[in-house]
Amino acid sequence: MATVLRVLLAAFVCMFGLAAAHAGDKFIIVSSTTSTEQSGLFGHILPAFEQQSGIEVRVVALGTGQALDTGRRGDADVVFVHDRVAEEKFVAEGHGVERHEVMYNDFVLVGPKSDPAQVTGGRDIVEALKKIEAAQAPFVSRGDKSGTHAAELRLWKLAGIALEQAKGPWYRDSGSGMGPALNMAASLGAYILADRGTWLAFKNRQDLAIVVEGDQRLFNQYGVMLVNPAKHPHVKRELGQQFIDWIVSPAGQQAIAAYKIDGEQLFFPNATK
């Protein structure tokens, strides 16, 4: 009898272990930009998705370039970033299945209230960058191949400034995420290009304020893509697609729109199927 009980107990433990392992498999890895994490957006929207779907979302927050590289290696199931050119290349090269637009906000130029480059109140980001370079005023760059860094480099190019030749002690590559880069700018009293979402969530502003905003060239679009399971068979296609379907659905879009700080909306849903 004791032997039978031991066998039954062992079978129960085995079945319970298999069930727990199966339940533990119901998660996806989303490789995303730091702005979605550091702005607090994911903390706001993911609980609603996880409660509805039973799928845990594990976020790896990196610069957009690194997030896309994570997808290329097959180390994520979904990529959620903000560099449309790089995203379209990711899909064209077969690393992603399809790109969906999700939401947008904008970039802002932040700088010290003393404003040594005299750009405060302007709406022309290109002219502002020209003035910063001419004044050799301190400027902090993400320098991390993120979507924000890519946007910054495009804007310097539009300003006609060959950055590699123009760089000097005034220009600091931080090689870090948006939050740490803003901390560096605050400590140095430097200008910095930031996404509005992270800026609104940023607490250590010290003497920094928005000095230039509203230029159409500061538009910041976010997209989401499933990592291609044809390249990486271990990618959780069904679970990842459930997340994508939800984020572009009315429920997901409403969750994004509802996220505000001090009454100010951080991201504006504009999903397309």
Task: Give 128-155 as a DSSP string.
Answer: HHHHHHHHT--EEE--SS-HHHHHHHHH
Between strands 96-112 and 191-195, the pairing is antiparallel
CA distances from 272 to 125, 207, 208 (A): 29, 39, 36
Tell me the two tokens of residue 8.
Answer: 């039954």
Q: Cβ(117)–Cβ(192) under 8 Å?
A: no
Alpha carbons 50 and 48: distance in angstroms, whole number: 6
HSE on the CB side for 225, CA within 13 Å? 31
Q: Which pLDDT does position 102 carry in this prediction?
A: 97
Which of the 8 DSSP states describes residue 231? T
Residues 6+ apart with CB under 8 A from 180: 174
Q: Which pLDDT does position 7 carry in this prediction?
A: 38
Alpha carbons 227 and 223: distance in angstroms, whole number: 13
Q: Which pLDDT does position 44 carry in this prediction?
A: 96
Q: Which pLDDT does position 59 carry in this prediction?
A: 97
Alpha carbons 123 and 148: distance in angstroms, whole number: 18
Please list the rounded mean pLDDT of every run of 10 residues in the chain (273 residues): 41 39 73 91 96 97 93 97 95 96 97 97 97 98 92 96 94 93 97 94 94 96 97 97 97 97 94 75
Q: Which pLDDT does position 273 carry in this prediction?
A: 56
Q: Which pLDDT does position 97 carry in this prediction?
A: 94
110: nearest Cα among 166, 34, 188: 188
Alpha carbons 217 and 202: distance in angstroms, whole number: 23
Buried b (16+ CB within 10 A) or exposed e, 105-128: bbbbbbbbeebbbebbebeebbeb
Residues 6+ apart with CB under 8 A from 153: 163
Burial status of residue 169 (CB atoms within 10 A of its CB: 0-12, 13-18, 19 or more)? exposed
Q: Cβ(220)–Cβ(107) under 8 Å?
A: yes
pTM of the model: 0.83
Q: Which pLDDT does position 272 carry in this prediction?
A: 73
Domains located in the chain, CATH noted: 2-105+221-269 (3.40.190.10), 106-218 (3.40.190.10)
Q: Cβ(64)–Cβ(86) under 8 Å?
A: yes
**One-letter amino acid for residue 80 of the chain:** F
At 221, which helix (H) or strand (E)?
strand 219-227
Residues 6+ apart with CB under 8 A from 173: 141, 143
Burial status of residue 24 (CB atoms within 10 A of its CB: 0-12, 13-18, 19 or more)? exposed
